[in-house]
Structure 1
Amino acid sequence: MDFLIGGLAAMGATLFSNPLDVLKTRLQLQGELKPRGQHAVYYKHALHAAYVIVKNEGILAMQKGLGPALLMHGVRNSIKLGSYQWLTTNGYVCDSEDRTIFYRSLLASGFGGAAGAFCGSPLFQITTQMQSQAADKIAVGHQHGHSGLVQAFQTIYFRYGMQGLWRGASANILRTVVGASAQLTTFAKSKDVLRKNHELFQHSTVLTAFVASIVGGTCQTIFQTPFDLVCIRLNNQREKRRSS
């Protein structure tokens, strides 16, 4: 049940976060492998990017890649969150007083993150490639021209083989291990601190989880972003066809 709940929660969140991922992908691909000042700047910052995308591609462009993104986040987070919760429930993460053991939490979250990232890597690649597709005058990065999830799977497989579906998997795993370890460990430790030092949080599990989630998500973003940039570019670049 923990695996199912983790996956469904992530898919629900994706409905709201996918437009932000579209903006992030475009900004991260802009100026790829070109010196500063020697490339076109279509997107100045997040708000400007949103304006430019809507103006040139319409409001629905903010949800590009939503289908594969839903599946990708569902797969990755069901494994990541489900395995972490299972390990916590079975006493592998906390001590006898239900306090999080730091190094165990790092190992548990890293393991779950790596497994989820590996399984979801093909979907991450397709999501990235579909989110990067843009009108010609504001396009950044290689344009793969996918029309949908199934067509993208078929195209990548027939052009590059099974290995092509897992292109960039090593970077994706490293990115997720760093992000998951930072997120889940700070989330768990934050709950411990809040419940121990503030009476308000001792009587409200919802408020405690809400505040701890903000802390965990912020730490995840700080530590994961450099690896995310590398991962996005690896997954979107053009690759040579496999030899027949």
Structure 2
Amino acid sequence: RPAAGSQPGAIPREVVVPAMPPESRAVGEWLAERSGGPVTLRVPQRGDKKALLETVSRNAAESLALHKMRRASDLTTRSRAMHEIQEALGLDEAPLRIESYDVSNLQGTHVVASMVVFEDGLARKSEYRRFAIRGLDGTDDVAAIREVITRRFRRYLEEQAEAESDPENLNGERRKFAYPPNLAVIDGGPAQVAAAARALTELGVVDVSVCGLAKRLEEVWLPGEDSPVIMPRTSEGLYLLQRVRD
């Protein structure tokens, strides 16, 4: 960091790291210039320094988790995040309910799709669902996304029809898919988003917006668009989308 050498003695003669950085020589020279003497980068294998490094890493991870939890639980921050998503994606209303879909391969053969639910910017883990995808090539995640979206929203339409015929739910069946999201977030890019949008269109579902969040550059993709929506890296809206997807 630029401020590392601003105070005498701020840079020690030995810097302990968990793994050697790719340009360790350049880093060492940069630190030496600011410290006024040689600086050694070392990856400890045993002893007190290794134990100290593990303690520091654990403390840093706990601090980061606490920061994320505080950030996520703040009502004003969550409201701003949903408003930023609404503005960036051109939604008619803030996405109070967001569902995210991801496809993973288990042992290369079993394809499983996951559905994660956030309401008012908070995870609703009781609403999470998993779908076993059968009869598809484990590498065809586009077809898998289309299948899981079709299955989820077909169930929504079925349960919506049941609610209309039995509004008081006299039969006592739990309706697990009765509430549609304002926004469906797909883990992927244009191809996956197009597959999800096509599935919704075929079902006649018109009140659910779709976007994709590609991991590589954190680009937000909308159906039918040739270019992604670029949300600022510091955006609370992007942070919420990342939490939903991850």
The bucket for the TM-score relative to the shorter chain is under 0.3
TM-score (norm 2): 0.25
Structure 1 or 2, whichever has the larger Rg, is 2
More strand by share: 2
More helix by share: 1
TM-score (norm 1): 0.25
